[in-house]
A and B are shown apart, each in its own frame.
Chain A
Amino acid sequence: MRHLLSTADLTRDEAVGILDLAEDMADVATRAVPKLPTLRGRTVANLFFEDSTRTRLSFEAAAKRLSADVITFSAKGSSVSKGESLKDTAQTIAAMGVDAVVLRHSASGAAQVLAESDWIDAAVVNAGDGTHQHPTQGLLDAYTLRKTLHADASRGRDLDGVRVAIVGDVLHSRVARSNVWLLTTLGAHVTLVGPRTLLPMGVGAWPVDVTTDLDAAIAARPDAVMMLRVQQERMHAAFFPHEREYASGWSLDDDRFARLAADTIVMHPGPMNRGLEISARAADSPRSVILDQVTNGVSIRMAVLYLVLSGSDPREAAA
């Protein structure tokens, strides 16, 4: 695998392969020395043009468990605030010699631009670009679903017949987009739920069901409900009149949580707005796998870094 830009590029076999590899990586964490020498001598640059805690830390932990060197760049306190462009930053990083770039950027398509440019020849892993894609989040969600449903027998399996409701601010959510393509590729059935104003234009062409009625979606007893964060920082218009009105229609509050089927799991990509899209009781309940998602994220990112950084260098092979 040269780059990881979008979950829409993955075939079912590739996706299952990544999830299986992540299972091996998860086993590493349980050993006497929870570290592998695989990427010794390779350098991973985390370029974060947009705020992030868990994704950046997760990629950093993943790279370090594979013995790669990590250099981290975050836009705050960097020359980006002096007006430096993605191109200049990428070329600067390239001049220092890196093998992979993990890129988070507020512009949709930034990772694709970097991968196709001649600014840098490192592998590019998309860690979130605008409202477009966040492929490692989609993969860790698929991994968490598979692991929760099949436990130790999960290796090699897809998500055929699994039903997932993705709820809330779909419009601004790259997590939702990554999940829609990946989960349907793996055979799951996805229902998107949200207020009309927060469902994207053209959603009718996606391979999903769409509804505005969360209560009906809960009554349909999905295997998982994935609550999305209300992304107020991306909302430059009035998408709903008041937070209370949003919560009354689309929050997983205590009342709706009580109506969930007994084996429905609760997911959230974090960070959570407690009381807005999810209640504390739902978030902290035993059926919540939100912290498992964080743990699994490290395993998924180890698998992805291994896949883009191991194997013969295509530049050497061409030479």
Chain B
Amino acid sequence: MARIAAHIAVILTAAALPGGAAVALEEAAPIGDAERGAELFTDCVGCHQVGPEAENRIGPHLNDIFGRRAGAIEGFPYSEGLARMGADGLTWTLETLDAYIENPRALVSRTRMAYPGMESAGDRADLLAYLRQFSASPANIPEAEPTAIVREVDLPPEVLEIAGDPAYGEYLSAECTTCHRRDGASDGIPSITNWPEEDFVVAMHAYRQEIRPHPVMQMMAKRLSDDEIAALAAYFARID
């Protein structure tokens, strides 16, 4: 209910903005309810431990499971199937863990994990929110796995139609100018000042679709909506 209310608030804010600027198409939400996940974990404790005193039992301990390569705990007798998946590059992330818990044998053939699978996506989210607390914190290790997910927010079409507002682009540009100098100087980082609008838009979509390969720019572009990209293009094209 709170989440629905938040969506409405976002849409209302958008409508009330001066100049009709659009807002972000996304908002972050916790992975799930960790307290409820702790209760669900009682189904797992027959085989798995997690927490400060956790040790390998029938299954491996689950500390630092997020970001860990599958089958990576030295000395633990993994099934051949899981060891092979690890060697092939399977890493435990929110997505891969979710798929594994939903149906272990669908992700890893002949895994020894006898668990039949957790059907409810909500239950899985809560369980993973609980387990996430026992893996590295991004505040300490920035490369640690995310702790929240970005949800799509449906915006009414009239908001989406607004494009190329340079004033909104100026606001958004604060994130760009941490690296790209507004005055157009380019040493090490290319200038984006006075770029033709169309080139700018095409480049940003190429980053968003991972056609252009730069990880910082992919990250930046992926959370820009179409009209935010247009707004930025309009702003940078018009800088004096």
A binds B: no
Residues of A within 8 A of B (CB): none
